Amino acid sequence: MLSYSILAKYYDRLMGDFDYDGYVSFVKKRLNGEGVDLACGSGEITVRLAKAGCSMTGIDISVEMLNVAREKARQSGLDIKWICQDMSEVELNHKVDFMVSVCDGFNYVPTDKAAKLLARIHDNIKIGGTLVFDVSSEYKLKNVLGDNLFCEDYDDITYIWQNKLKRNCVDMEIDFFERTTGDMYRRVEETHRQYIHTQDFIESILKENWDYEIYDGEKFSKPSAKSKRLLFVCRSK
Ligand SMILES: C[S@@+](CC[C@H](N)C(=O)[O-])C[C@H]1O[C@@H](n2cnc3c(N)ncnc32)[C@H](O)[C@@H]1O
């Protein structure tokens, strides 16, 4: 099963403790005008930025995640454009003021496509425009997620999430047990692969075309060797 096809239904619930408001209040002062949310998922950031007055487009490769996002925007009466696309192929018909990608989107991009993605983004942002993105850090993928197992049990859904650390990525297998009728459950499996992009690797790609600062993406302060999320705030040169 493709990544985020089943997870889309439960994503917002499982992300309940993610601080989207904190994230937006940290980045919003750097973002104005027209923007794109890459790997926008269920649109939590896209919708918040649209509510804050930005003109937004959300891009994601998962139809199911986009359906959740579209419905959320509809219920809030927001006019947001949604595009189902691999973000490494992003090509807009005009340059925008900013792009964001929050909560691991870039970890889904294979190592050998990362430079192409950042070049595409640069081509589609105005000079002086802003790119904000994060990655789950090498520390987190190797020491927190890698070779680990997570599970949660709700009335309607139980999942078991098993990770295998490989040389440059973590392969994730999620088994969902969805309650159907009574005590009957349907088992569906979904797989994900998140790539380890080290800070040095990302900086080596950014340095030519971007000025940038790096933050701990959970504390919004100076990153440390044990930061689980690295947040890059970049200005296009
Ligand atoms: C962890 S979710 C993050 C969603 C959202 N940004 C958030 O903050 O909740 C990662 C998202 O990346 C999307 N994704 C993965 N690879 C992608 C790609 N190559 N192009 C576009 N979206 C991608 C997935 O479909 C998923 O919605």
For the segment 126-144, the average pLDDT, to the nearest whole number, is 98
Would you state the structure tokens that stand for residue 203, as one six-digit string?
Answer: 């900086």
Nearest CA owner, ligand 1 atom 19? 86
The total of other beta-carbon atoms located within 10 Å of residue 167's CB is 5
Q: CATH homologous superfamily of domain 7-136+198-236?
A: Vaccinia Virus protein VP39 (3.40.50.150)
CA of 217 relative to ligand 1 center, distance in Å:
17
2: confidence class by pLDDT, cuts 50, 70, 90: confident
Eight-class DSSP state of 69: H
Going by C-alpha positions, the residue among 6, 29, 30, 196 that lies closest to residue 109 is: 196
Provide the pLDDT for residue 84.
97
Residue ranges of the chain that CATH labels 3.40.50.150: 7-136+198-236
Name the pairing type of β-strands 157-165 and 149-153.
antiparallel
- Indicate the fold that domain 140-195 takes in CATH: N-terminal domain of TfIIb (2.20.25)
pLDDT computed for residue 207 by the predictor: 96
Task: State pLDDT tens for residues 6-16.
Answer: 999 999 999 99
C-alpha of residue 182 to centroid of ligand 1, in Å: 33
Span from the CA of 72 to the centroid of ligand 1 (angstroms)? 16
> Given a cut of 80, is residue 1 above it in pLDDT?
no
CA distance 92 to 66: 18
Strands ordered across the beta sheet of 125-136 = 81-84, 55-60, 34-38, 96-101, 125-136, 229-236, 210-216
CATH 2.20.25.110 domain locations along the chain: 140-195
For ligand 1, residues with CB inside 6 Å are 4, 15, 39-42, 44-45, 60-62, 65, 86-88, 102-105, 108-109
